[in-house]
Amino acid sequence: MVLHDAPPLVPFPASVQLGQGSVPLRSVRLSGDPDAVALLRSDLESLPGGAPLDDEGTTRVALTVDPRTGSAEGYALDAADDGIRITGHDAAGLYYGTRTLLQLLRRESGGAGSGFWSVPEVRIEDAPRFGYRGVMLDVARHFFGVADVKRWIDRAVGLKYNHLHLHLTDDQGWRIQIEAWPQLTGAGSGGDATGSGGFYTKDDLREIVAYAAARHLTVVPEIDLPGHTHAIGLGYPDLVEEPTITEANVTEAAALHQPLPVHGEHYAGWGVGHSSVKIHDERTYDLIRDVLLEVAALTPGPYLHIGGDECLGTSAADFALFFARAGRLAAATGKTPLAWHEAGAVEDLPAGMIGQYWGSAEPQDDHAAHARRFVERGGALILSPSDRAYLDMKPRPDHPRGLAWAGIVPLRTSYDWDPETLLDGVPASAILGIEAPLWTESVTTIAEADSLAFPRIAAQAEIGWSAQNGSERSWESFRARVARLIPAWEASGIAVDRAAIDDPSATPPDGAVAPQTTATAPSNEETA
């Protein structure tokens, strides 16, 4: 018995009507929109055991776009005995319909080892709650090459995320080629003892952008300013201040057996708040103007993130002076500038600038006030409460990766928040969406990233997509659906932290029966 018999769909669709039977995929004929067909073909071909594709196939899967169907990014999916039809409101909606189809697949035993895939008879109508559903990958602390970023994109789009925020620069590394300032990717793109240095050439970033765009994912580049800029000083020492080292920096470095930052030398520690570009040197703004123009030209999306977090050694007046200018330079590229919530403290920001809230789910007054300032100036907010949405917080104390400065964040805690009630005084209309960041101080490979992200990345996906009062928007349902998705994730090479499901702190308090977590493959028997 399982607690819930809803199909294992995450994020859960707006409406699901299950029929009685199932539709076998013994031989499949794909038709319709060529881009959607090509992507689904490749996904079906890489399933364990394969799904036989044949132009004469008996089960027809028709993929079309019809703007009369639902709303933006929405789709309808019908699986019945005469075949499967997925109709997207737009190309993104059609793609998301095919992601739902993949989650519906169940392996049937055909006898004598002749297994095949099937989907239940079902009618689904679906559309997202928020237009911005992001994941962030910190490629500065540890660099991830193009192939790894594509793997991260695959994970994100399978859960219907539509933005990838790339944290391209930080104290530990500068990861994007800038033609006007070639020394940025000299020593500044080095790595630490794990050998994780590197940078994206412009062609590399174009390749990432194109791969993402084909999957309806927009890349949001971040150049973190004016702090988190120690790496600039390896190529251009005159443009960066000497590190500001606080007692907290010294205590933390000693506790973690890490070095303190030294001006002009590679920094591999985890300390924050010690670096700043020179705010009163005009050449700083020449560099920033060139960097923002080159990065904006590489990324067709509407947003350009300019950081603004943790400028702990910078006076409020200098921060305001700098950010007003940086905001104007970002806006002059034609993009909508985006910044972490601290920048809300600055009065003179471009109208319509977007803020990204990363404070706690119980917001401190000043954090909430800074976030609200973006809305008051006609902008909007992306919400990433660090003790809910940060994928790099440890899901349990004994997890080998992750940090805990925002707390231990078990799966159940990460699932437990509502973007519309997070910040008082912010109307729902001012919430662009949510983002789940993964910082990489303790992460060097995608497998390690997976072990922190899965399944919590699915929780944030559901918060971003599914209605708060949706029929299955409950911890018990979510947990049961995730448990049933784990085998498929693992079969596709994702290193899931299974303990997250079994974590006693995540046990429903009402003594409800725990769902099955050890299924070897999603199958019909499970719900029998």
Residues catalogued as catalytic: 310
Task: Return the structure tokens found at 421.
Answer: 């009630």
309 is an interface residue for ligand ACM by CB under 6 A = yes
503 is an interface residue for ligand ACM by CB under 6 A = no
Q: Which residues pair with 77 in a beta bridge?
A: 86, 124
- The smaller minimum CB distance to ligand ACM, of residues 355 and 487, is found at 355
Task: Return the structure tokens found at 211.
Answer: 């791969």
Q: How far is CA 456 from CA 120, 160, 438, 459, 470, in A?
A: 26, 14, 11, 5, 19
> Residue 385 CB, nearest distance to ligand ACM (Å)?
11
Query: Mapping DSSP to helix (H, G, I), strand (E, B) and coil, where does residue 29 land?
Result: strand
Nearest-10 crossing angle of helices 446-453, 146-158:
20
> Residue 366 CB, nearest distance to ligand ACM (Å)?
15
Task: Return the structure tokens found at 122.
Answer: 């079902």
Check the CA dihedral 198-200-203-207 and report its sign: positive
- The smaller minimum CB distance to ligand ACM, of residues 185 and 384, is found at 384
> Residue 308 CB, nearest distance to ligand ACM (Å)?
9
> Residue 441 CB, nearest distance to ligand ACM (Å)?
11
Q: Are 63 and 98 in contact (CB under 8 A)?
A: yes
Instruction: Determine the residue with CB nearest ligand ACM.
Output: 309
310 is an interface residue for ligand ACM by CB under 6 A = yes
Amino acid, res. 374: F
- The smaller minimum CB distance to ligand ACM, of residues 144 and 340, is found at 340
- The smaller minimum CB distance to ligand ACM, of residues 117 and 417, is found at 417
319 is an interface residue for ligand ACM by CB under 6 A = no
Binding-site size, ligand ACM (CB under 6 A): 4
224 is an interface residue for ligand ACM by CB under 6 A = no
| C-alpha Rg value of the chain to the nearest Å | 24
Amino acid, res. 408: I
Amino acid, res. 86: I
> Residue 145 CB, nearest distance to ligand ACM (Å)?
24
154 is an interface residue for ligand ACM by CB under 6 A = no
Judging by beta carbons within 10 Å of its beta carbon (0-12, 13-18, 19+), is residue 397 exposed, middle or buried? Answer: exposed
- The smaller minimum CB distance to ligand ACM, of residues 119 and 371, is found at 371
> Residue 368 CB, nearest distance to ligand ACM (Å)?
16
Residues 327-386 that bind ligand ACM (CB under 6 A): 340, 358
170 is an interface residue for ligand ACM by CB under 6 A = no
- Residue 478 to residue 484: CA distance in whole angstroms: 10
Residues 400-429 that bind ligand ACM (CB under 6 A): none
Query: Mapping DSSP to helix (H, G, I), strand (E, B) and coil, where does residue 315 land?
Result: coil
- The smaller minimum CB distance to ligand ACM, of residues 212 and 272, is found at 272
- Residue 226 to residue 43: CA distance in whole angstroms: 42
Check the CA dihedral 460-465-471-472 and report its sign: negative
Residues near ligand ACM (CB under 6 A) are 309-310, 340, 358
